[in-house]
Amino acid sequence: MKRINLILKTLIVSLLIVGLGACSDSDKEEPTPAENQQKLILAALESDPELSQFTEAFRSIDLSSSAATNFTVLAIKNNAEEGGITADILKRHILEKAYTPSALTEAGKVKSLNGTELIVKTAEGIVSLNNTPIGTHITVGNSTLYILDKAIPAENTFLGLASGFDVSISKVLELRPEVIDLDGATFEWTQEFGGEKTVISTEVNYDFITLAAGEYKLSLKATLPNDKTLEVSTVITVTEPEKAFVAFPNRVFDFVPAPGQTIKVLGDTKEKALTAVYEQIKTGSGNVYMGAFGGYMVVGFDHTIMNKAGFCDFTTKYGGSNISPSVIWVAYDANKNGMPDDDEWYEIEGSEYGSVNDLGIQSYTYQTTKTEDGYAWTTQDGKTGYVTDSYFWGSLMAEVEVPFWITGPTYTLTGRQLKPNIDEDNDFKPALPFAWGYAANQPNGSKQAAIDIDWAIDAKGNKVHLPGVDFIKVVNAIQGMRPMMGEYRYQVTSIEDLHLQTVEITTSEAQSVR
C-alpha cells in the first residue's frame, strides 16, 4: 500500500511537471520576422573574423519592436571606426528594407535605423552613401549585407566628379562637380601638368580649356566650416583635333550693313550676301563694307577662342584709311547649340566706355528710299540726318547704297555710339584712334588692336569671366561723314584668333598708350 501511494505521488508530480512545461511552451512568444532576420544576419557576420566588433554590436541590438521583414546591413570591418562601434554608429548602418545597389540608386536618399539621412550617388558604377563606397553585396535571408572598409559619416555631404574626361585643344570642358549639403564650404581647384602644380580656381565649377595636348590631373578640394575636407580628382586627356583649327571665322551668322558704299555688290539676297562675306574674310584678306553707324557682322569659329589669363586673345583688321572705331561683342556658346543666342552676348569694354566720348546705346532708323540728300535717319530721341554720297569739289567720289534684301521702308540698327575723335575745325584731318578695345581703330597688327576677352562686361557694366568665345560681333560705332571719304565705315578685313597664330600680346601691352 505504501509503495502504490509512492507511485501515485510520483506520477502526480510528473504530470504536474509536464503540465507546467506545456504551459511554459505555450506561453513563450514566437520570434518576430525582424528577429529571425537578425539571427540569419548574425550567422553570416560570425563567419568573417574581420567583422567581430560589428557582430557583437549587432548581437546586442533589440530589433523585436521593428516591423521590418528585411534589412540592409552595412557592416564595417574592425578598426574602421576609432573608439569602437557605438549603438548610434551601428544603427546608422542598418536600413529597414533590403536594398540592392540599383535599388539604392533609384531611391536617391534613404534613412537609417537612427534616422540619419544618407545620400545615394553612383559614379562610374560605384554606389556611395554619404560619399562612402559600399562595394558589393550578398543576400542573407530576405536581407542584404554589405561589407565596408570604413564607416559611413553622419553628415550627408557629397562631392562627386567623374574620374576621367577627353577633350580637344581649344574646346571648353565644363567641369560641374556634384555638391550636396556643402553650404559655407570653400573650394580650390589645382592642376598638375608638365611637372608643375598650380591653383587654377577657387570656384566650385570650372571651365577647362587649353592649347596644349597632353594629360592633365585636376583636383577639387572642398573645405567645410568645421575644417573637414573632401577631395576628388580627375584626369583630362587633351588631344589634337582630327582637322587643324583655323584662326579665321568658319561661318558668317549675320550681316546687316547700314547705308554706305559698296553694299549691293554682295548680292541681291541675304543668303548670297552671307556667302560673299564669308568668302571675303575666311582667310583674313577680305574687304567687307558695313556702312554707317550700326552696320554689323556676326561670325563664328570652328573652335573656342581661349581666354588666356593676362594675354589678348583675338584681333581685328580693317581696310582703307578712314578709321571707324567699332564696338565688339563676344559670346560663349554656353548651351552648346552652335548658335549665338541673344542672351549670350557681352560687350568688350573699350577705353572710352563711360567717358565723354561714350554716347551710350543708340538706335538709328534708316529710310530705304534714297532722296537727293541721301538716306535719311532718325534716332530714338528724335535727331535726324542723312547718309549722303561722297563728293569732293563737286565730283561724285562714292555713292551710298542700302542692301537689296532690305525690303521694308525702314530698318533699325542699334549699338553703342562713340563720338569721333576728330579735329572739329579741320574736316580733312584724319580721325584719330581711341586707345584700345575697338575694331577698325588702331593700325592692323599693332598691339593696341588686340582684344582681351577679360574685357567683357554685361549690360550693367559688370565684369564677366568667360572661358573663351565662340562668336564675335562687330558693330560700327561712329556716325558722320568725311570729305573725300564718305561715311565713317568699318571695312572688315579679318577677325583672327591670336593663339592659333602663336602671337602673344599681354593685356598691359594692348592697353599701353603709344
Question: Do 183 and 59 have their domain in common?
Answer: no
Determine, yes or no, domain membership for 4: no
Please report the pLDDT score of residue 489 as a whole number: 86
Domain boundary (204, 239, 274) is at 239
Whether 495 contacts 314, CB under 8 Å = yes
Strand partners, 314: 451, 497
Residues 281, 132, single domain; the answer is no
Task: Tell me, yes or no, whether 21 lies in a domain.
Answer: no
pTM of the predicted model as reported, rounded to 2 decimal places: 0.80
Averaged pLDDT, 485-514:
90
Separation CA 211–CA 238 (nearest Å): 9
What's the pLDDT score for residue 187? 98
Query: 210 with 142, same domain?
Result: no
284 and 330 in a single domain? The answer is yes
Task: Give the domain CATH number at 45.
Answer: 2.30.180.10
Does 38 reside within a domain? yes
Same domain, 224 and 86: no
The pLDDT confidence band at residue 12, using thresholds 50, 70 and 90, is very low
For the chain, what is the domain count?
Answer: 3
Structural domain boundaries, residue 180: 158-239
pLDDT band at 158, cuts 50/70/90? confident
**Residue 102: pLDDT above 90?**
yes
Assigned domain for 26 exists: no
Within this chain, do residues 476 and 375 fall inside the same structural domain, yes or no? Answer: yes
Please state the rounded mean pLDDT for residues 376-382: 96
User: Given this model, what pLDDT does residue 514 score?
Assistant: 63
Residues 216 and 281 in one domain: no
| Measured distance CA(346)–CA(453) in Å, rounded | 10
Residue 297 lies in a domain: yes
Do residues 347 and 490 share a domain? yes
Q: Are residues 441 and 491 part of one domain?
A: yes
For 344-372, letters b (16+ CB in 10 Å) and e give bbbbbbbbbbeeebbeeebebbbbeebee
**Cβ of 51: how many Cβ atoms within 10 Å?**
22
What is the CATH number for 209?
2.60.40.10
Lowest-pLDDT choice from 314-328, 360-374, 404-418: 314-328
Dihedrals phi, psi of 356, to nearest 5 degrees? -65, -20
Q: Which of 199-203, 441-445, 481-485 has the lowest mean pLDDT?
A: 481-485
Same domain, 169 and 189: yes
Helix axes 52-60, 33-46, angle to 10 degrees: 160
Residue 387 and residue 275 share a domain = yes
Sheet holding 94-95, edge to edge: 94-95, 72-76, 143-148, 137-140
Boundary residue ending a domain (148, 169, 200): 148
Per-residue pLDDT for 290 more than 60? yes
Please name the residues in contact with 424: beta carbons below 8 A apart, sequence gap of 6 or more: none
Q: In percent, how much of the chain has pLDDT > 90? A: 73
The pLDDT of residue 15 is 36
Question: Residue 285 domain-assigned?
Answer: yes
Q: Convert the pLDDT of each residue in 252-280 to its tens digit.
A: 999 999 999 888 778 889 999 999 999 99
The residue among 95, 127, 148 that closes a domain is 148
Using DSSP bridges, classify how beta strands 178-180 and 158-160 pair: parallel, antiparallel or unpaired: antiparallel
In-domain check, residue 326: yes
Which span out of 71-80, 155-164, 446-455 was modeled with the highest average pLDDT? 446-455
Residue 181 within a domain? yes
Residues 44 and 142 in one domain: yes
